[in-house]
Amino acid sequence: MLRAKKRIILKKAVNRGGFIYEDDVLIGVSTGFDFRAEHECGILELQNIAGITPLSRLKPKKKWFGLKTLEPNFGLNRTTIKNSDNILQGIAEMKDGSSYYVFGYNTSKNTFLFDKFEGDFDAYWNEESFIIASKDKESMTEIVRAAYDEDLAFTTGGKVLTDYAGIRLVIKSKCSETLIEKCEQDDIEIYELRKLDRKIDVQKKLRKAGCQFFACSPRWKDYEKREIHWWLNPQDQNNIESGFYTYDELIQWTNGKGPVFKKEDNTQKEDIQY
């Protein structure tokens, strides 16, 4: 039985998730997504708890003659859930008599603070936990079994399974070679992106200047992957505009100017004469 150290607050995404199919075969599940602050923090803590080495901690290893090569553990092999101690699975009985088959991670019975799950599929999550509930016993059984067999992995990035988002989990043994290769390549691209982001570290400069934000996330700006820009979700929603900005545009913010500031509406309504 899991012991909760604290009450875990999970949020439901605006765009609801569901089971993921490839060629009519169940290969995984998605919690759904949105761009609210509580869903913008990423799932680094969740992956840490699951025994996954985050990309930020992957380092080159030295070989003979001082040559370096990246750790080959990218893609689904890197993101497989390895720690089964924090798995929660069972049946939730609703007040209306309906039954939901539940799969969660890093959660406890305290998580079941809902009057009811909704529809045939429901999901809640945050940066360190998730709960998935469905009336589909067969599909949920496959997902849970894969988790215990170390056959369930988080997908990586936004280019893989683009019809789904949020927390996406796939059964590795059921994925096509094409999907596995895409996950690996996407993982490598994200690794390179974050390595460049850490080198630039515009977030540190913003915080030092008192510029507060919920998210300032790097993205490749061009197809050649030579330049990056950042998705900004500011805390000051009244004066600062969310959107994609370059390094120079974000640095302008630290000086109190630039395109991040919302333009004042100077238009005045004409006097109505009767």
- Listed by start position, the domains of the chain span 15-189, 201-254
89 Cβ contact list (under 8 Å, min separation 6): 101, 102, 103, 104, 144
Q: What is the pLDDT of residue 274?
A: 36
Q: What is the pLDDT of residue 188?
A: 86
Model pTM score: 0.73
Burial class (CB in 10 A: 0-12, 13-18, 19+), 177: exposed
Q: Is 181 helix (H, G, I), strand (E, B) or coil?
A: helix
Residue 28 predicted with pLDDT over 80 = yes
Integer CA distances (angstroms), 9 to 17, 133, 139, 168, in order: 18, 16, 26, 19
Residues of the chain with pLDDT > 90, as a percent, come to: 43
Q: If residue 184 lies in a helix (H) or strand (E), which one and from where to where?
A: helix 177-200
Burial class (CB in 10 A: 0-12, 13-18, 19+), 264: exposed
215 Cβ contact list (under 8 Å, min separation 6): 37, 40, 41, 231, 232, 233
Residue 147 predicted with pLDDT over 70 = yes
SS3 letters for 101-142? Answer: EEEEECCCHHHCCCCCCCCCEEEEECCCCEEEEECCHHHHHH
Q: What is the pLDDT of residue 273?
A: 44
- Least confident span in 21-25, 83-87, 224-228: 224-228
Please state, rounded to an integer, the average pLDDT across all residues of the chain: 82
Q: What is the pLDDT of residue 238?
A: 92
Q: How many alpha carbons lie under 13 Å from residue 65 in its C-beta half-sphere?
A: 1
Q: What is the pLDDT of residue 269?
A: 42
Question: Which tens digits make up the pLDDT trace of 225-238?
Answer: 778 899 999 999 99
DSSP state of 95: T
Question: Which tens digits make up the pLDDT trace of 207-260?
Answer: 999 999 988 989 888 766 778 899 999 999 999 999 999 999 999 999 999 999
DSSP state of 176: -
Integer CA distances (angstroms), 55 to 22, 175, 247, in order: 27, 22, 23
Residue 266 predicted with pLDDT over 50 = no
Residue 120 predicted with pLDDT over 80 = yes
Q: How confident is the model at residue 268 (pLDDT cuts 50, 70, 90)?
A: very low
Q: What is the pLDDT of residue 192?
A: 85
DSSP state of 174: G
Could you give the CA distance from residue 43 to residue 164 in angstroms, rounded to a whole number? Answer: 16
Question: Which tens digits make up the pLDDT trace of 188-207?
Answer: 888 888 888 889 999 999 99
